[in-house]
Amino acid sequence: MSTSTTREPQTKDVGAVVNAIHILRHLAHQQEPQGVATTARATGVSPSTTFNILRTLSHEGMVHFDELTKTYRLGLGLSELTVNLIGQSHADLIQPELDRLALNLQILIVLWRVTSDHHINVIASAIPRVPHVAVRLDSRLPELVGASGRCIAGLRELPDDDLRRHFSALRWDNPPTFETYLAEVKKARRTGWALDENCLYHGVSMVGSAITDQNSKPRFAISGIAISAQQDGASIHKAGESIHEAAQYLQRSLFPRPTL
């Protein structure tokens, strides 16, 4: 499984490295140490290759081998690789992914934090090399508005009457009908991303996707924001899919779900 949302077509992955990453990721998601056979089945790597990789990782301190149970778990050696990440904020950790999206999609990319008072505020952004919309750091909006808001609304799973009440308090340049908004919320729940085209702000198109924690509660959202005249249907759809894929990758990285 790739951890990047795009890949250079000329590049070729090194199989041994990919297998080692799959094995480490599997161990990271387990609550109990794992044996060779169990790890091989879970990752799709052959038992002999799994054994050799685990033995090598054990020699390097990346995994710990229990002689008694013949099982492996993550080792302290991994902390050496992550020491520079310790103490960094979520925004700092996510920033490289925002930069990559802005470069590939050539639109403004914004990271929002979902607050406890049902708002979202900008905590980071990445600027494209083309004319773009300006968004201030710490800008603040109700959590249910815009493209990201449709995604958050889908995750909240509010009864329709409650959602209608919250919707009636939202301010838009060109407000959609509640029926249209509700349909788009349901679509966002299925696809993982949403589109706001000239609704929140006239002349501005936005796509968004949410990042949830282990309890499936929205913690962050990523938006792509563009001048509508610069986008067509294909490019905005590509942006939505790319941002959703990035949000899924960040969700796995920041809030990994244990594998039962």
* pLDDT, tens only, 159-174: 999 999 999 999 999 9
DSSP 115-183: PTTSEEEEEEEE--SS------TT-EEETTSHHHHHHHHHHHT--HHHHHHHHHT---SSPPPHHHHHH
Residue 221: which H helix or E strand, with range?
A: strand 218-227
Question: What letter represents residue 168's amino acid?
Answer: S
Q: What is the pLDDT of residues 98-128, one digit of tens each?
A: 999 999 999 999 999 999 999 999 999 999 9
Q: Would you say 113 and 121 are in contact if contact means Cβ atoms under 8 Å apart?
A: yes
Structure tokens at 206: 């936005």
Determine the pLDDT at residue 84.
67
Determine the pLDDT at residue 10.
56
Q: Return the CATH superfamily for domain 90-254.
A: GAF domain (3.30.450.40)
Burial of residue 96 (CB within 10 Å: 0-12, 13-18, 19+) is exposed
| Domain residue ranges in the chain | 15-82, 90-254
- Is beta strand 108-114 parallel, antiparallel or unpaired with respect to 63-66? unpaired
Residues 6+ apart with CB under 8 A from 147: 193, 194, 195, 196, 206, 207, 208, 223
Q: Would you say 215 and 155 are in contact if contact means Cβ atoms under 8 Å apart?
A: no
Low-confidence ranges of the chain (pLDDT < 50): 1-9
> CATH topology for 15-82?
Arc Repressor Mutant, subunit A (1.10.10)
